[in-house]
Structure 1
Amino acid sequence: MVLLTIDLITKSSNYLKKKRGYTFPEYLKRLTHLNFSNKNIEGIGDLSKCRNLTVLYLYDNHISQICNLGFASNLTHLYMQNNDVTRIENLHNLDKLSKLYLGGNSITVVEGLEQVRELKELHLENQKLAPGEKLLFDPRTLLSLAESLCVLNINNNRIDEIKDLAALKQLQHFSAADNKLHDMEELDFVFSNWPQLHHMDLSGNPVCQTPKYRDRLITVCKRLEDLDGKEINDLSRQFLIRWKALKEAKKKRNNTHMMTELPITSPLKHDSDMARGPRPGHIYSRTNVLQGKLQQPRSDPTRERRVRYSISQNTI
């Protein structure tokens, strides 16, 4: 098992190139960037002597657990995409972490970031999920990221709803391409809570086939600059916003007009009829009473024939 340790750092070509007369402890103390990408590393060992580490590149390895980073209180960038990580954990001491790259792992739940209050970018695309699984979000993590997260990439994770993401009110870049989003009303609600959104990619989702899909999102996201890789110019945006406003105003006028046509007085002229109660043959209904109408008795041909026959017999 290959572990990233201090000993491994001493054997690296980067250390030999940058040594420049420093003693090894001095070199570790001055170290800010550490790149061990694509080195067949399977785990992270003790790196506590690298206390000034700010950027750590560990992508394209075989790491299964995020661990032994509690010392790295100055770490701002962590690149661990394309590993075998199954959980987001042990990051609570990374107070300054602003960019976290975990795409191409085996994560099923976005969690464990409650203490990472400065995180601005979170990349979780292309998780290696089991059949039937989809990427889920812990509400506690979303709430903790609400005021900081600006970039979220969740492409290709079988996600079919994002209503819980409405809490991320500072989002500026959102990528959720190649998922299973289908509810246009849900998208309208979520995006109306993201006033800072500038760039968005939803290509490859079923919702993209909804009529007026692009027009609707442009009117909801008033600062959007590009959607699904296509730029949005100001002229198109202003036209669609005006069109939506005119449509809503017309709908409001129509509703007001319909209300004014309804009767506003009670049918007082029929009070005497109502007081006497229903006359034989008259039919009272809620609609007719409200409209001040009384239906005339319905004719009964059978009854009329019996009456005429009785009269003729008496006459004879």
Structure 2
Amino acid sequence: MVRLTTDLIAKSSNHFKNKRSHSLSQYLKRLTHLNFSNKNIEDIGDLSMCRNLTVLYLYDNQITHICNLGFASNLTHLYMQNNNITHIENLSNLQKLSKLYLGGNSITVVEGLEQLKELKELHLENQRLAPGEKLLLDPRTLLSLAESLCVLNINNNNIDEIRDLAALRELQHFSAADNKLNDMEELEDVFSHWPQLHQMDLSGNPVCQKPKYRDRLITVCKRLEDLDGKEINDLSRQFLINWKASKEAKKKVKDEQIMTGQLIAYPLTTDLSMAPHPGQNYSHTKVLHKRKPLQSLRPRMRVRSGPSDSDSEARKYRHSALTLFYS
């Protein structure tokens, strides 16, 4: 098992070997950036001598637990994507942490970040989840990040609702592509709480196929500059905002007319020409009188002459035939 320790740092050709003029303890105390990405590391040992560490790169390893980082009170950037981490833990002492990268792990619940009051970026994309599972975000963690978080990436995590994310009112960049979001009304409600939002990616969600999907989101997110990788110019945004305002104003006037009785709903008829006009008394009798006589709707018939050559007998035969037909 490869474990990250001060001895491993000292043996690294990219670190202590090139700085022999200093003792190991002096070197470790001055160390601010440490890069041990893609080194098959499975565990983090005692690094407490690296008290001034600000940036730590540990991505593309085999780490299963976040541990032994309590000393790093000056750490601002932590890169631990593409490991085997299942829980977010032991980060409460990292009071200055600004960027946290945990994508490509096996995390199912986003929690344990309540003490990170300066966290601005949280990257959680592409978690390796079991079939049927989805990434869950603890509401307590979301509330604790409400004043600081500006960037959130939750791409490809089987997420089907984001109602609790409304608490993140300082969010500027939001990525939730390739999930299962489908409720347009929910999205509009959540995004209305994000006045600072500039960039958003929802591509690959079922909601993208909804009618007026793009137009509706642009009118809700009035500062949005980029949606699903496509730029939004000021002219298009202003046109849509004006269109929505006009539509809402017309609806308001119509609702007021209905409430005050100015707008009257007339009974529906099958003949539009028979619909009453304003100020005209509606009468079923008058309408019925306008109909054509029944006789005019009957088909014309040619009646053969009777077998007799006499005109009187022919008339009698025609009369008998008509009487029989209309009886």
Q: Which TM-score applies when normalising by structure 1?
A: 0.82
C-alpha deviation, 1:256, in angstroms: 1.4
Q: How does 1:278-293 map to 2 (within 5 A)?
A: none
Q: What amino acid sits opposite 1:29 in the alignment?
A: K
Q: What amino acid sits opposite 2:240 in the alignment?
A: L
Counterpart CA distance in 1 for 2:104 and 2:258 is: 57
Name the % identity.
82
Moved over 3 A (4+): none
- Are residues 1:145 and 2:153 paired? no
Give the stretch that moved more between structures: 15-24 or 80-89. 15-24
Corresponding residue SS for 2:41: coil
Counterpart CA distance in 2 for 1:58 and 1:124 is: 15
Corresponding residue SS for 2:100: strand
C-alpha deviation, 1:20, in angstroms: 5.1
Q: Provide the residue aligned with 2:315 in structure 1.
A: none
What RMSD in Å do the two structures reach over aligned CA positions?
1.1
Q: How does 1:137-176 map to 2 (within 5 A)?
A: 137-176=137-176
Q: Provide the residue aligned with 2:92 in structure 1.
A: 92
Report how many aligned residue pairs link the two structures.
263
Deviation track 1:110-169 (CA, whole Å, cap 9, x = no partner) reads: 000011111000000000000000000111101100000000000000000000000000
Q: Provide the residue aligned with 1:34 in structure 2.
A: 34
Counterpart CA distance in 1 for 2:261 and 2:191 is: 38
C-alpha deviation, 1:16, in angstroms: 4.0
Counterpart CA distance in 2 for 1:86 and 1:15 is: 30
C-alpha deviation, 1:210, in angstroms: 0.6
Q: What amino acid sits opposite 2:183 in the alignment?
A: D
Give the stretch that moved more between structures: 173-182 or 7-16. 7-16
Q: What amino acid sits opposite 1:260 in the alignment?
A: T
Counterpart CA distance in 1 for 2:261 and 2:50 is: 79
- Are residues 1:247 and 2:222 paired? no
Deviation track 1:263-311 (CA, whole Å, cap 9, x = no partner) reads: 9xxxxxxxxxxxxxxxxxxxxxxxxxxxxxxxxxxxxxxxxxxxxxxxx
C-alpha deviation, 1:17, in angstroms: 5.2
Corresponding residue SS for 2:25: helix
Corresponding residue SS for 2:78: strand
Is the Cα contact below 8 Å between 2:16 and 2:27 reproduced in 1? no
Q: How does 1:230-309 map to 2 (within 5 A)?
A: 230-261=230-261
C-alpha deviation, 1:93, in angstroms: 0.2
Q: Provide the residue aligned with 2:289 in structure 1.
A: none
- Are residues 1:224 and 2:214 paired? no
Give the stretch that moved more between structures: 13-22 or 134-143. 13-22
Q: Provide the residue aligned with 1:116 in structure 2.
A: 116
Counterpart CA distance in 2 for 1:46 and 1:242 is: 60
C-alpha deviation, 1:255, in angstroms: 1.1
Q: Provide the residue aligned with 1:182 in structure 2.
A: 182
Q: What amino acid sits opposite 1:142 in the alignment?
A: L
Runs of 5+ in structure 1 lacking a partner?
264-316
Q: Which TM-score applies when normalising by structure 2?
A: 0.79
C-alpha deviation, 1:220, in angstroms: 0.2
Counterpart CA distance in 1 for 2:151 and 2:18 is: 34
Counterpart CA distance in 1 for 2:7 and 2:102 is: 26
Deviation track 1:4-50 (CA, whole Å, cap 9, x = no partner) reads: 00010010011245415111111001000000000000000000000
Corresponding residue SS for 2:240: helix
Corresponding residue SS for 2:122: strand
Deviation track 1:50-78 (CA, whole Å, cap 9, x = no partner) reads: 00000000000000000000000000000
Counterpart CA distance in 2 for 1:170 and 1:68 is: 31
Counterpart CA distance in 2 for 1:103 and 1:185 is: 28
Q: What amino acid sits opposite 1:258 in the alignment?
A: I
Corresponding residue SS for 2:15: helix
